[in-house]
A and B are shown apart, each in its own frame.
Chain A
Amino acid sequence: AQKITQTQPGMFVQEKEAVTLDCTYDTSDPSYGLFWYKQPSSGEMIFLIYQGSYDQQNATEGRYSLNFQKARKSANLVISASQLGDSAMYFCAMREGWGAQKLVFGQGTRLTINP
């Protein structure tokens, strides 16, 4: 079974609109962490936001927020007021357990922002 599922292979959004990128996860470990990374066409992996399984509040980092719904096992990324520079691949990833465990990535969503 897939540990991380990103069901949107591609999304197209108008500049300045908000966009939600979906991510669902599967784990039986009560301790885990969820990450979102951005990969522009240049190829590097840029960390965006982190949510721990015990965190009471949804994580926010500037224009990025993580809509964490634990019972549904979803961790959607919300980008407010999208910009042309947000066009990239976005990967959701999970760390199972507490500590420096490996990350398991989803297939990614290619986001295109239209002017």
Chain B
Amino acid sequence: EPEVTQTPSHQVTQMGQEVILRCVPISNHLYFYWYRQILGQKVEFLVSFYNNEISEKSEIFDDQFSVERPDGSNFTLKIRSTKLEDSAMYFCASVLGVRSSYEQYFGPGTRLTVT
């Protein structure tokens, strides 16, 4: 069964460093998302991406964040200068988007630890 994959599974970085989180959505899906979950809290929406552009972003998704789909398969989230409060689990999700329930398939997550 096709699935969303994410790399790395765990990333440790120092405050102020840039990180890139990578996702490979399901191949025929059209809509892509990033969510984050701070430890012990609910899952929060960051950004959605369709047709090679951002379709919606939350107030969390400030100028320090960017997304890209560089090669038609990967979908990346970049944090330019990490802060301690960026420590969280980051989930990528994708949606087929055509005659479907618009069910979002989530990847296994990347746990980001900023020290």
Interface residues of A (CB under 8 A from B): 33, 35, 37, 42-47, 50, 52, 91, 93, 95, 98-108
- Can you identify 19 A-B contacts, CB atoms within 8 angstroms? A43-B109, A43-B111, A44-B109, A45-B91, A47-B104, A47-B105, A50-B101, A50-B103, A91-B42, A99-B102, A100-B31, A100-B48, A100-B102, A102-B45, A102-B48, A102-B56, A103-B104, A105-B42, A105-B44
> Is A43's CB under 8 angstroms from B48's CB?
no
Which of A43, A45, A106, A107 has the most chain B CB atoms inside 10 A of its CB?
A45
- Distance A50 CA – B100 CA, assembled complex (angstroms): 11
| B56 neighbours in A (Cβ, 8 Å) | 101-102
Q: Residue B97 at the A interface, CB < 8 A? A: yes
A101 to chain B, nearest CB (A): 8
B contacts, CB < 8 Å to A: 30-31, 33, 35, 41-45, 48, 50, 56, 58, 89, 91, 93, 95, 97, 101-109, 111
The number of residue pairs between A and B whose CB atoms lie closer than 8 Å in the complex comes to 63
Determine whether the beta carbon of A100 is less than 8 Å from that of B97: yes
Q: Are B103 and A104 in contact (CB under 8 A)?
A: no
CA distance A102 to B97 in the complex (A): 12
Query: Shortest beta-carbon distance, B91 to chain A, in Å?
Result: 6
Chain A residues near B104 (CB-CB < 8 A) = 35, 47, 103
Across the interface, which residues of A come within 8 angstroms of B50, CB to CB?
Answer: 100
B89 in contact with A91 (CB, 8 Å) = no
Docked-complex contact B102 and A95, CB < 8 angstroms: yes
A43-B89, A44-B109, A103-B33 known; 20 other A-B pairs, CB under 8 Å?
A37-B106, A43-B111, A44-B106, A44-B107, A45-B106, A45-B109, A47-B103, A47-B104, A50-B103, A52-B101, A98-B102, A99-B97, A100-B48, A100-B102, A101-B48, A101-B56, A102-B48, A102-B58, A103-B93, A105-B44
Chain B residues with CB under 8 A of A99: 97, 102
Closest beta carbon of chain A to B53's beta carbon, Å: 14
CA distance A52 to B91 in the complex (A): 24
Given A91-B42, A100-B50, A103-B45: A44 and B101 within 8 A (CB)? no
